[in-house]
Chain A
Amino acid sequence: MPATSAIDPLTELMPRIAAGDRAALRQLYQATSAKLFGVCLRILSNRDESEDVLQEVYITIWRRADRFEAGRASVMTWISTIARNRAIDRLRARGPLAYAEQVEELEIDDGQPRADALLEAAQDGEALGRCLSELDERTEKVIRTAFFEGVTYEALATRMDAPLGTVKSWIRRGLAKLKGCLES
């Protein structure tokens, strides 16, 4: 079963969406909404809020499709970034308590990824997963937490009861190692 294809079938939808083709947006929604809803739900842990954010995300895609540049990012990464940003905005709007209420271990018991999600993840995902696991446990955890929960340096430092500069240097060093590992 081919895990990759040279042409991303979602890419051809983008200029159509930019031109105002609703059927194309609907196709994109059908192909990607479960994934993006999962992303929102993961960050917000609340269905109603996640549905509100999901709605905003597709309206944003509709308005912004003309800014998508096929050479620079994949459609999935681009729309996932919008979903993540919007969900994080919503989370942060709840105020500082939102961070305190988050379960730290959330990213570890992750539910069971669907078979197709695993397939998608197979190529790059394996490399990233392997490289993340090569980091020391604390750094891996802090990077995953930051990514999935949109937690700022300040909030991470509070949660881990560590100085801001220290948390920052863990993450920066971790990211440098991650890059080195992915490129090796």
Chain B
Amino acid sequence: MSEPLTPDLPEDEAFAAEHALGVLNAGERAAAELRMAREPAFAAHVEAWRERLAPMLATILAVEPSTRVWPRIERGLPVNDNSERGVRFWRGWAMGGMGLAAASMAAVVVLATRPPEIIAPPTPGQLLNARLDTSGGQHLFVAAYDPVRQKLIVTSLVAPGTDPVHVHELWLIPADGKPRSLGQIEPGTSKTLPMPQGLSAMAKEGAAIAVSVEPQGGSQQDGPSGPVAAIGQLAKI
């Protein structure tokens, strides 16, 4: 049996294809998601492979979920309504291009229709937590904020040693949408960071915590200079 010779995929594309297929372990998946945030060419490979493999999903039998699911989803939404506005705008700014235009428009629409809102201050001692995930929905970091001690505990789920050329910088993005640096976190570690003076009042339910990928030493700008790898919002546990 003669087989036509197929050249191997270039390493980058092979890794992208493996990510799209789903064979990578947790650490490798996190590394792949970070690369997607940082390297548009790599992200394009992953997207292309997802499209290539997607027809397999079409062969899966569609099954009606029970009618109780939608009401549960709807109940889950108001939390986001209250808190995403500044973040959306900021995210668009971080991504630039089409994203910027779309996000700015979204922000304008949303701000114009903003209902009055009352956000109760957190009860003393109540922790706020956030899961920071990528655009692909993968959790990369978890954070918990203690408003009484004014400390943020962050854990990186990224495999240790991933991408030693860059650092991961944490940001607090409060309601005004302007990111404030909180420091850096090493892949695979946990860390307790004091909330800087003046920021603790802003670290409340609905504020976002994000991680950007930065050159050694962190961002030299007033805000992230590299791509945002993961983002999540503080919510009551």
Contact = CB atoms under 8 A, between A and B. Distances in A.
B88 A18 contact: yes
Interface in A156-180: 156, 171-173, 175-180
A85 B61 contact: no
Contacts of B51: 73-74, 77
Secondary structure at the B interface, as helix, strand, loop or mixed, is helix
Nearest to A60: B137
B80 A63 contact: yes
Given A66-B92, A147-B22, A29 B102 contact: no
B59 A18 contact: no
Interface string A118-134: 10110011011100100
B55 A173 contact: no
A55 B217 CA distance: 40
Interface residues of B, number: 64
B62 interface: yes
B171 to A, nearest CB: 17
A19 interface: yes
A157 to B, nearest CB: 10
The A interface, classified by DSSP as helix, strand, loop or mixed, is helix
A46 B88 CA distance: 34
Given A147-B21, A179-B9, A59 B73 contact: yes
Nearest to B108: A19
Contact of B102 (A18, A72, A148, A152): A18
A100 B7 CA distance: 34
Interface residues of A, number: 83
B110 interface: yes
A179 to B, nearest CB: 7
A81 B57 CA distance: 10
Contact of A110 (B8, B54, B59): B59
B6 A55 contact: no
B136 to A, nearest CB: 6
A39 interface: yes
Contacts of A154: 25
B158 interface: no
Q: Which 9 A-B pairs have the closest CB atoms?
A: A121-B58, A125-B55, A34-B62, A37-B65, A128-B55, A124-B55, A77-B54, A19-B106, A67-B135
Interface of A: 15, 18-20, 22, 25-26, 29, 33-35, 37-39, 41-42, 47, 50-51, 54-55, 57-60, 62-64, 66-67, 69, 71-74, 76-77, 80-82, 84-86, 88-89, 92, 110-114, 116-118, 120-121, 124-125, 127-129, 132, 143-144, 146-148, 150-154, 156, 171-173, 175-180, 182
Interface of B: 4, 6-9, 14, 17-18, 21-26, 44, 47, 49-66, 68-70, 72-74, 76-77, 80-81, 84, 88, 91-92, 95, 98-99, 102-103, 105-106, 109-110, 113, 133, 135-139
27 contacts: A15-B105, A29-B70, A35-B60, A37-B62, A37-B69, A38-B61, A42-B60, A42-B61, A54-B69, A57-B137, A59-B73, A59-B80, A63-B84, A66-B88, A66-B103, A67-B91, A77-B54, A85-B137, A92-B26, A114-B62, A116-B62, A121-B55, A129-B55, A143-B21, A147-B22, A172-B14, A176-B8
